[in-house]
Amino acid sequence: MENNHPLSELMRTTLDSVRAMADANTIVGAPIQADGVTLIPVSKLSFGVAGGGTEFTTKKQPAGDNAFGGGSGASAKLEPVAFLVVREGGVKLLPVAPPPATTADRVIEAVPEVVDKVTNFIKDQQDRKEKTADLAD
């Protein structure tokens, strides 16, 4: 039996858990069938893993005598990317629009709506002016 360091065992356990989450069925989901159409969800999986440890020594307990402290952690994020739409022998990729990531993205996304509102407001003001001028005549 080989003598493994506690940190390597800690990381092995963490990575085994991540490996169990990241199988192919997580990325390409189970097909959904309805009315002659099959939808297959496609997702993006990203994850991070960290771990660390230290060995403690004291006067009473020499190094290598189970004087180990450590920890590990993992985080996973699953985001929908697209759907494969299978209908009547044809396949089409239907992408899912990602949400805005930053404040600048949100502002840029809102600009067309703001421009439309301002344009409509100006047009309404001009229409009112014209009606007022017509009534004065």
Tell me: pLDDT of 1 over 60. no
Residue 126 lies in a domain: yes
Residue 113 lies in a domain: yes
Q: pTM for this structure?
A: 0.49
Nearest to 51 by CA among 76, 74, 18, 35: 74
Residue 125 lies in a domain: yes
Do the Cβ atoms of 6 and 70 come closer than 8 Å? yes
What range does the domain containing 107 cover?
Answer: 99-137
Residue 46 to residue 104: CA distance in whole angstroms: 24
How many independent structural domains does the chain possess?
A: 1
Residue 132 lies in a domain: yes
For residue range 84-110, what is the model confidence (pLDDT) as tens digits? 999 988 899 888 877 667 777 777 777
Average pLDDT over residues 68-88: 84
> What value, to the nearest 5°, has the Cα angle with vertex 49 and ends 79 and 40?
25
For residue range 31-63, what is the model confidence (pLDDT) as tens digits? 999 888 999 999 888 888 888 877 777 777 665
